[in-house]
Chains A and B, each alone.
Chain A
């Protein structure tokens, strides 16, 4: 049985902000299905009492003094912007 349908692919693509071609949808449905069946082997393990590892280091918050430091100049920050105007990033209109 397939774990992933074309509808699932369309739903996930929407969440991921990806537009896919019809051909890609079919291909990804098949490949993701294959990969998910492979990762199903994790269910052989009883992990009820196992703590999850999100990170290998004991992370703690790092504080620094609230001082003004050097930052990028506006022109430099905008240098690779696809569209810019008057010192800002330009995007398609969102609200009136």
Chain B
């Protein structure tokens, strides 16, 4: 805690609040109220949430308080308010993925992570804004609102889990969940000055997470410090029979990795991650952090990941190919948006009868008796009817998806289409092997790798939105992790002169989250960056 200034409950970490709740010094209801007071005060400026769940949250909090009063056994995170990225399903609550397509979609079940959080009595405060269907690096692709970086409201919070990162950074939430397909937890954590952990692929169940790119997606934590990451990982990790890609691999107590000691650990620095033209302040902060870890007893050695420069290209072929297939389900039939109104209008403007009328006349069989219909006439009829269904799909998808989602569906469909499959998709899968082999080899010689999380600090809203390729390149340091399936964390390691946060990324072997937490914790214990709070003022420069 900071000295000389009384801290409000919502400014504390989950670990600190947990201790107070256990001692009976505060109630979960008080904590939850303090979070909503904060939301009322700053949400208009920051814009982290798309759905708030105040009533339900207070109810949940009071139930936890009752349990404590009755001296029931409670979990370490019981009563702690948490924000959920809006691509994870909570029973009875909207799950929009920040898309018009799912604007009114109420999830009929709980995602496995949600079920686990409920079992541990965490309090859901709301669903956070994101790039539509998690496609983006700035949260500007939301169909509903812009989220602002709490450190400078004119800049982006990163993405796609920008709402979750901004909520934690501005003390609107104590904890948050995000999802990471190519850096969507780590990059916004870095840009908002908080801690973001993407676990190993398969460590956390994806059941109930709206699929973007299934071989890359992973749910993880966004927190104020490393201790809270360990606590949240203890709750969300583990095998789930509903996700056949989740791993039946023992879950350790991650808080045991919170050890302030890196003596003798071998840390690899990939030279390809320190390139000419990278932001000087980012480079300096990360290099200073490496020097500090060396001083604390770690052995630093340079390693090479020669295929790094191909990772973005591989990612944007594989992720879009998988997305084009995953997003085929949005056709306006089972849930989500349907373009029926528009279709009706179009039919009228084309001089056709509205669907319902023409259907009625057909049902009555006006003018034609069935036996007299020729085969060809029947075929024509079928074509016309199928055409109408296809038109409904096409109109629905046109209206429901935003620009970036359409672009990625187009790219993915192209890469998978006949004649281009080998040249693009298969080629990308082969180079994915090379990217993964580089990392595997480097991690044979080292305990972990350290890199910057993002090549630049946060950038201005609108700066890259019209240049997709430039935006894609902001994920250059986070993408390989997903291609290789390994875990990674971003922790604060400094600030630019203009006061924007800089993040450090630590990567390790599959299922070596403990190594990552140990190094991150040691760094955090020896620095003060994570204790800084954003001023939340509107600045122009």
Q: Does B317 lie within 8 Å of A18, measured CB to CB? A: no
Pick the residue among B331, B335, B395, B469 that contacts A80 (CB under 8 A).
Answer: B335
Binds A, one of B270-278, B430-438, B444-452, B518-526: B430-438
| Contact call B389/A91, Cβ cutoff below 8 A | yes
B385 touches A96 (CB 8 A): yes
Residue B462, interface by CB 8 Å: no
Q: CB-defined interface of B416-429 with A at 8 Å, one 1/0 digit per residue? A: 01000000101111
List residues of chain B with CB within 8 A of the CB of A39: 313, 316-317, 424, 428
- Which residue in A24, A45, A72, A93 is a CB contact (below 8 Å) of B310? A45
**Residues B313 and A96 in contact, CB atoms below 8 Å apart:** no
In the complex, A96→B202 CA distance in Å?
Answer: 46
**What chain A residues lie within 8 Å of B483 (beta carbons)?**
53
Contact across chains for A52 and B429 when beta carbons are under 8 A apart: yes
State whether B398 touches A20 (Cβ < 8 A). Answer: yes
Q: Enumerate B266-304 residues with CB–CB distance to A below 8 Å.
A: none
CB of B417 within 8 A of CB of A12, answer: yes
Residue B366, interface by CB 8 Å: no
A76 at the interface (CB under 8 A from B): yes
Report yes or no: B314 in contact with A42, Cβ–Cβ below 8 A: yes
Contact: A52 with B241, CB < 8 Å? no
B3-39 near A? 1/0 per residue, CB < 8 Å: 0000000000000000000000000000000000000
* Residue A85 is within 8 A (CB to CB) of chain B in the complex: no
Complex alpha-carbon distance, A61 and B109, angstroms? 25
Judge whether A68 is part of the interface by a CB distance below 8 angstroms.
no
- Chain A residue numbers with a CB within 8 Å of B395 are 19
A17 within 8 A of B: yes
CA distance A81 to B332 in the complex (A): 8
- B459 at interface, CB cutoff 8 A: no
Interface segment, one of B60-68, B158-166, B172-180, B407-415? B407-415
Contact with B along A33-49 (1 / 0, CB 8 A): 01110110111010100
Q: Contact partner of A95 among B317, B385, B407, CB < 8 A?
A: B385
Q: Tell yes or no: B393 within 8 A of A by CB.
A: yes
B73 within 8 A of A: no
Contact mask for chain A residues 69-96; partner B; CB cutoff 8 A; 1 contact, 0 none? 0001000110111110000010111111
- Residue from A8, A16, A52 in contact with B409 in the complex, judged by beta carbons closer than 8 Å: A16
Query: In residues 315-338 of chain B, which contact A (Cβ within 8 Å)?
Result: 316-317, 324, 328, 331-338
Q: Count the B residues whose beta carbon is within 8 Å of the partner chain — how many?
A: 75
Question: Cβ of B382 < 8 Å from any Cβ of A?
Answer: yes
Give the interface segment out of B100-108, B116-124, B189-197.
Answer: B100-108
The CB with the most chain B CB atoms within 10 A, among A8, A9, A31, A92, is that of A92
Highest count of chain A CB atoms <10 Å: which of B201, B307, B317, B394:
B394
- The answer to whether A12 and B428 touch across the interface, beta carbons within 8 angstroms, is no
Chain B residues, Cβ within 8 Å of A67: none
- Are A59 and B407 neighbours in the complex by a CB distance under 8 Å? no
Q: Are B215 and A82 interface neighbours, CB within 8 A?
A: no
Q: Given contacts A19-B394, A38-B469, A47-B434, are A57 and B313 in contact (CB under 8 A)?
A: no
Complex: chain B residue closest to A63, CB-CB: B244
Q: Are A16 and B324 in contact (CB under 8 A)?
A: yes
**Contacts of A55-69 to chain B: CB distance below 8 A:** 55-57, 59, 61-62, 64
Partner of A28, one of B244, B337, B406: B406
Contact B245 A57 (CB under 8 A): yes
Which residue from A56, A59, A91 sits with its C-beta under 8 Å from B333?
A91
B386 in the interface, Cβ–Cβ < 8 Å? Answer: yes
- B340 contacts partner chain A, Cβ-Cβ < 8 Å: yes
* B469-A17 in contact (CB<8A): no
Contact B362 A50 (CB under 8 A): no
In the assembled complex, B485 has its CB within 8 A of some CB on chain A: yes
Report if B468 contacts A (CB, 8 A).
yes
> Shortest distance in angstroms between B159's beta carbon and chain A's nearest beta carbon?
18
B90 at the interface (CB under 8 A from A): no
Compute how far the CA of A16 lies from the CA of B397 in the bound complex, rounded to whole angstroms. Answer: 9
Q: In the docked arrangement, what's the CA distance between A57 and B320, Å? A: 20
Q: Contact partner of B394 among A18, A53, A93, CB < 8 A?
A: A18
Interface residue ranges, B against A (CB under 8 Å): 104-106, 108-109, 201-202, 215, 241, 244-245, 247, 307, 309-310, 312-314, 316-317, 324, 328, 331-338, 340, 355, 359, 362, 378, 381-382, 385-386, 388-390, 392-395, 397-398, 401, 406-407, 409-411, 413-414, 417, 424, 426-434, 436, 468-469, 472, 483-485, 510
Enumerate 24 A-B pairs (CB-CB under 8 Å) in ascending A order: A12-B413, A17-B390, A18-B410, A19-B394, A31-B407, A32-B407, A34-B469, A41-B313, A45-B434, A47-B430, A50-B430, A56-B201, A56-B215, A57-B485, A80-B105, A80-B334, A80-B335, A80-B336, A83-B340, A92-B388, A94-B382, A95-B382, A95-B385, A96-B385
